Amino acid sequence: MTLRLPLLRNFKAPSLALAALLLATACASAPTRPPVSIGSGQPRVDPVTGEILTDPGAQVAETATSGSFRSDGGLTPNFMLGLDVKRAAVLLPFSHPNAQVRAEAESMLAGVELALFENGGTDFMIMPMDTAGRASTAEARADEAIQEGADIILGPLFGANVGPVKEAALRKSVPVVAFSNDRTVAGGGAYLASVMPEEEVVRIMGYAATRGTRTFAFLGPDSAYGRQVEAAMRAEALKNGWTVLGAGFYDPSTSASSEVSRIASLIKAERSQVGLLIPERGTKLLTIAPLLIVNGVDPGRTRFLGTSLMDDSAIWREPALAGALYATVDPDYLSSFKATYDRIYGRKPTDLAAAAYDATALAITLAGENNMKHGGVTDPDGFMGVNGLFRFRLDGTSERGLAVKEIRNSGAVVVEGGVTRFPPGGS
C-alpha cells in the first residue's frame, strides 16, 4: 500500500490564531485493513462549511463569530449543532519561553491542519490548547479538554508533561497520543507517536545482522539520548545472542578523540565484522568518522551504523562515511507530505510535524469508525501514515516500518524500504 501525492486545493495556510476552531469530518472512507491508510492523499470531499474560498481564513473567522453551545455532550459550535461531533484536543507549548520550541509547536499545528484539510469534513473538531511547556499547565488543559468533551488528546510534547495529562485523561478513559520520545512515560493510556530511537536501533541492527554483522560496538555522546541508544543496542544484542564489544561515551561539548582511540583499539582486535553504532550528526560526526579511520579502523571490516540523525545531506560527502547505514522513515511516504507542506506553508516541516499529521489522521480515522478508544488506537493491524507503517503496543510505545538507507558518493539511497504490513497479532 502506498501513499499518493496529496491533491490539495491551492489555498493559503490557516494562521495559528484561526486554528482554535478548525473543523473537519471523520467520515472519509478507509481501505480494507490491514493496515488502515490514515494519510489517503486525497482531497476532502466536503469543505468545512460551504465551498472552499480563495482565503479560507475568512471563512473560519466567520464561523468563529457564530458562537458556540455548551451542553453535556461537550463544547459545540452553533453550526455543528445536531451533528455527532468528535473532538480532539491538541496540547502543545505555543507560548513556551524558548523560541525554537514555539516554532516546533507551530509547525506541529500546521501538520495537524494539513491532516484535517486532506482528510476532513464537517463533524470533527480540534481544540488547540497551550501548555506553555509546564506540567501543571498541561494537566489543567487536559482537565479542560475532557470537560469540553474531548474524545482523544493529541500531545503533550514533553515527557515530563505526559504523566499529569494521562492521569487526567485516564479518569474518563480518554486516549492520549503524545509526542515525547521518552519511552518511560508511555503506557497507562498514553501512546507515543514520535519515532522512538529504540525502533531505529532495532531496525538498523537487524538489517546489519542479515548482512553478516553480529558483533557491535557503540560510540556516542554522554547524554540522555546517547544512553538511550546504547541501552537499546545492548538489549537488542542480548535478545538475539549477538556480541557487544564495548561502548564509548564522550562529553558532547568536548573532543571525542580519547574515546575514538579506545573504541578503535577494541575493533582492531576483533576478527569478525563489526557494526559501530554512532548516534551523532553534523560537525561532530564529520569529526569522528575520519578520526576512526586515522586510528586504524578498517572500513572493509567495520560498518558505521546510525540513527535518523544521519539523514542529513550535509554529512553525506564525507568519504569516511561512505557505506554507512542508518534507519529512518521511508522517504517514499514522507516526500509527498514534505512537498505539500512546503507548498502550502512556504517552509519545510519539522520531523514532529509529520508525527502530528499522523496522530491527527489517526484520530480522524478512528472517529469515522466510532472507535476513538484505547482498543482503536492499539489496533494490531496498524496504520499507514506519512511516516510509514506504525502501530501502538499495549505498553504505549510504537512499532515502525522503517527503511534503511546507505550513504554513497551520490548521496543516501534506500537499500531496504519499510514494511507495508505487520505480521499477524500484536507486537
Residue pair 121/27 in contact by the 8 Å Cβ criterion? yes
Residue pair 259/236 in contact by the 8 Å Cβ criterion? no
How far from the centroid of its chain's Cα atoms is residue 145's Cα?
23
Residue pair 315/281 in contact by the 8 Å Cβ criterion? yes
pLDDT at position 123 is 84
- Residue-wise DSSP of 184-225: GG-BTTEEE-S--HHHHHHHHHHHHHHTT--EEEEEEESSHH
What's the angle, vertex CA 63, arms to CA 57 and CA 67, rounded to 5?
140
CA distance 327 to 336: 19
Kindly give the confidence (pLDDT) of every residue in the chain, 427 residues in length, as a single tens digit, with 9 standing for 90 and above. 333 333 222 223 444 333 434 433 333 333 334 465 665 433 333 323 222 223 333 333 222 333 555 555 577 767 667 777 899 999 999 999 999 999 999 999 999 999 998 887 678 989 999 999 999 999 999 999 999 999 999 999 999 999 999 999 999 999 999 999 999 999 999 999 999 999 999 999 999 999 999 999 999 999 999 999 999 999 999 999 999 999 999 999 999 999 999 999 999 999 999 999 999 999 999 999 999 999 999 999 999 999 999 999 999 999 999 999 999 999 988 999 999 999 999 999 998 999 999 999 999 999 999 999 999 999 999 999 999 999 999 999 999 999 999 999 889 999 999 999 998 765 5
Residue pair 311/411 in contact by the 8 Å Cβ criterion? no
For residue 140, give every residue at least 6 positions away whose Cβ sits within 8 Å of its Cβ, in sequence order, or none: none
| pLDDT, tens digit, 9 for 90 and up, residues 366-385 | 999 999 999 999 999 999 99
pLDDT at position 121 is 64
The type of residue at 1 is M
Burial of 262 (0-12, 13-18, 19+ CB in 10 A): middle
Residue pair 229/277 in contact by the 8 Å Cβ criterion? yes
| pLDDT, tens digit, 9 for 90 and up, residues 393-406 | 999 999 999 999 99
CA distance 310 to 89: 33
Sign of torsion over alpha carbons 284, 319, 197, 215: negative
Sign of torsion over alpha carbons 38, 43, 44, 45: negative
- Residue-wise DSSP of 141-179: HHHHHHHTT-SEEE--SSHHHHHHHHHHHHTTT--EEE-
pLDDT at position 332 is 86
Of 190, 164, 104, nearest to 398 by C-alpha is 190
Residue pair 154/90 in contact by the 8 Å Cβ criterion? yes
For residue 58, give every residue at least 6 positions away whose Cβ sits within 8 Å of its Cβ, in sequence order, or none: none
| pLDDT, tens digit, 9 for 90 and up, residues 30-64 | 333 446 566 543 333 332 322 222 333 333 322 23
Residue 16 is classified by DSSP as: T
Of 212, 283, 205, 204, nearest to 240 by C-alpha is 205
